[in-house]
Structure 1
Amino acid sequence: MFTGSIPALVTPFRNGTFDEDAYRTLVEWQIAEGSSALVPCGTTGESATLTFDEHFHVVRTCVDQARGRVKVIAGAGSNDTQVAIQNIRAAKDAGADAALMVPPYYNRPNQDGIFAHFESVAAACDLPIVLYNVPGRTVTDIQPATVVRLANAISTVVAIKDASGDLPRVSAHREGAGADFAQLSGNDDMALAFNAMGGVGCISVTANVAPRLCAEFQAATLSGDYAAALALNDRLYPLHTAMFTDASPGPVKYALNRVRPEIGAELRLPMTPPSAAARAAVDAALAHAGLV
């Protein structure tokens, strides 16, 4: 259902409020540059700082601007199962094609609790679910056996964004859930190896800034042209690392502002602009990639 380069979109702000015009410009540019789907209101979209109404206004705007040309995977996770149900229903009502959902964070249920959480969410809404495993942020790890259990037991669990950084899991998921279960890398810097092991795409931070290069990279891996993919990876790698030289999404918003100034670089507290060292790393990486 989902393959290729899928940007986890930033959310533009102007004077503290959602800048809808800038967001529509960003969505249009991403589609024109070859992104195969879009993720509004993920971590990179500063979803933690959005109210419920703002969150789903952003999702509706993304859906409206995309106009069915690409799929929209709306961020909808919560550590409260009832809130997660409310969110996935709102994502469906907004017109999203799927929901991107983290396991419960902070309260940190065991693996049976993680399964029961997603089982309850899926029972309440038939929107396809992309699991989002990012233990570095949530401190809750969906173990491979649980991923396989979810994929086999719940028909609407169709994919995973895996940001665990544990590459052998691609093979474990593939063995247990089958090749039709879409595995998407959550780490740009691991996408080459991830796809070689059976992944089919990446939900990407870097694609905000370099959508065409990321789309070409994904197309090369999916066609089996790993020589071309390696060359593109070498060109993009410094940018992948520069995106996390300070708290995200500070560096990516700074980079995007250099490439597309009309999108802006404003952040919401508690996020603050990246340090001088991070800005210098981004500047060098943009130059290396040939984007400035």
Structure 2
Amino acid sequence: MFKGSIVALITPMDIKGNICLKSLKKIIYYHIKNKTKAIVSVGTTGESSTLNQEEHINVVLKTLEIADGKIPIIAGNGSNSTIESITLTKKFEKSGISACLSVTPYYNKPNQKGLYLHFKKIAKNTNIPQILYNIPSRTGCDLLPKTVIKLSKIKNIIGIKEASGDLSRIKKIKKKTKKNFLLISGDDETALNFIKLGGNGVISVTANIAAKKMYKIFSLALKKKFKKANKINNKLIKLHKNLFQETNPSPIKWITKKKKLMKNKTLRLPMVSISKKTKIIFIKNNFI
């Protein structure tokens, strides 16, 4: 279910910063049409850090409703408070979501014991499958392979979105986890190499605007047709890199709006739209 191209969906907002349901419906239909394998709703790209809990829950549930069973929905449930993550997760019980994606606690900088106990406690308080998410560059802490391996023994922890940039971790984790433990890339630029080393897919920012190509790349890669996958991926390399020219999700929201997949590029403070310099880069490279 969670293999191939999965989108880290942006959360569209109107000019006042309220959730834009019309645009949400449009981008969900775009992903259904272009065969994206699953949607992550209100993950970190979905601006979970600036939505209050009521909004967070409502966006996930509305995404489920719009998707209507046509595509699996993974709900972001991460927080730097274990109690808050558990509370949020419980709101999704019996909702129909397929899994939760839980980012490592930001700012707190817990050690490996703290990380283990954090994810263990969340998992033990729900039956919903849990996917760990490691992105040290944004959270200030690093979920090491030895801790991932230990957590993988918990029944409903089913995989990890790994975005440390260290591809050597794939082999280390894969060697000591159960066969069906999912290894999912969190970095578009290196995701194809991640698959070549034994990964199962990518949770992608690029897929927000290149869903069809991302679906083709990772469908081919999972069939080990790497030459064909490389050919398509090479056309997206500049886009993969430049979507992080400024802090995500500012660039992807700007391009998504320009491609008319949503009405506004609105972000909530402290996030702001991209600079004129970055806009020129996107225009010169024909990203819009």
TM range (shorter): over 0.9
Counterpart for residue 191 of structure 1: 191
Checking the alignment, whether the CA contact within 8 Å between 1:108 and 1:140 is kept in structure 2 is yes
Q: Report percent identity of matched pairs.
A: 36
Change (3 A) 1:204 1:52: same
CA shift, 1:179, in A, is: 3.2
Q: Aligned partners of 2:236 and 2:6: how far apart in 1?
A: 15
What does residue range 96-115 of structure 1 map to in structure 2 within 5 Å? 96-115=97-116
The aligned counterpart of 2:252 is 252
> Kindly tell me: are residues 220 and 65 of structure 1, through their superposed partners in 2, closer, same or farther at Cα, counting changes over 3 Å?
same
- For residues 94 and 50 of structure 1, the distance between their equivalents in structure 2, rounded to whole angstroms, comes to 20
**RMSD of aligned C-alpha atoms?**
1.3
Residue aligned with 2:183, SS: strand
| 1:178-217 → structure 2 map (5 Å cutoff) | 178-217=178-217
* CA deviation profile, 1:168-200 (whole Å, cap 9, x unmatched): 101111101133111110000001110000111
Aligned to 2:73, the other structure's residue is in SS state strand
Q: Which amino acid aligns with 2:6?
A: I
The secondary structure found in structure 1 opposite 2:231 is helix
Q: Which amino acid aligns with 2:47?
A: E
- 1:93 and 1:17 map into 2 onto residues whose CA distance is 27
TM-score, normalised with respect to structure 1:
0.95
Name whichever of 202-211 and 98-107 sits farther off: 98-107
Equivalent residue number for residue 146 of structure 1: 147
Say if 1:62 and 1:229 are closer, same or farther in 2 by CA, change over 3 A. Answer: same
Question: Displacement, 1:105?
Answer: 2.1
Task: Work out whether residues 90 and 126 of structure 2, in 8 Å CA contact, stay in contact via their aligned partners in 1.
Answer: yes
Contact 2:40 2:74 in 1 (8 A): yes
Given that 1:245 and 1:281 are in contact with CA atoms closer than 8 Å, whether structure 2 keeps it comes out as no
Q: TM-score, normalised by structure 2?
A: 0.96
Instruction: Single out whichever of 35-44 and 113-122 deviates more from structure 2.
Output: 113-122
In the TM superposition, residue 282 of structure 1 has moved relative to its aligned partner by 2.2
* Bigger mean CA offset, 252-261 vs 14-23: 252-261
Whether the aligned pair in 1 keeps the contact of 2:183 and 2:199 (CA below 8 Å) is yes
C-alpha distance in 2 between matches for 1:242 and 1:28? 26
**CA–CA distance in structure 2, aligned partners of residues 12 and 286 of structure 1:** 23
Matched length: 287
Residues 80-159 of structure 1 aligned to structure 2 (within 5 Å): 80-152=81-153, 154-159=154-159
Q: Is the 8 A contact 1:92 1:98 kept in 2?
A: no
Instruction: State the 1:261 CA deviation.
Output: 4.9
Q: Contact between 2:27 and 2:261, CA under 8 Å: does it hold in 1?
A: no
Q: Structure 1, residues 243-292: CA drift from partner, whole Å, max 9, x if none?
A: 111121111011111212544211111111101121122224445xxxx5
Q: CA deviation at 1:106?
A: 1.6
Q: Matches of 1:263 and 1:197 in 2, distance apart?
A: 39
Tell me the alpha carbon deviations over residues 29-82 of structure 1, each in whole angstroms, 9 at most, x when there is no partner: 111111000001111111111010100110001111111122111110111111
Which contiguous aligned blocks of 4+ residues in structure 1 show a shift greater than 4 angstroms? none
C-alpha deviation, 1:93, in angstroms: 4.7
Which residue pairs with 2:168 in the alignment? 168
Distance in 2, Cα, partners of 1:146 & 1:238: 34
What is the CA–CA distance in structure 2 between the aligned matches of 1:91 and 1:278, rounded to whole Å?
38
Asked whether 1:64 is paired with 2:68, we answer no
| Partners of 2:284 and 2:211 in 1: CA distance | 18
Residues in 1 aligned to 2:189 and 2:169: alpha-carbon distance in whole angstroms:
16
Please, which runs of 5 or more residues in structure 2 have no aligned partner? Answer: none
> Structure 2 counterpart of 1:250, which letter?
S
Aligned position for 1:232: 232
Distance 1:203 1:105 in 2: 19
**In 2, Cα distance between the equivalents of 1:91 and 1:132?**
18
* 2:27 maps to 1:40: no
Task: For 1:52, give the aligned amino acid.
Answer: Q
What amino acid is aligned across from residue 95 of structure 1 in structure 2? G
Amino acid at match of 1:23: L
Q: Which amino acid in 2 is paired with 1:110?
A: N
Look up the equivalent residue of 2:74 and give its one-letter code: I
- Residue 162 of structure 1 aligns with an amino acid whose one-letter code is E
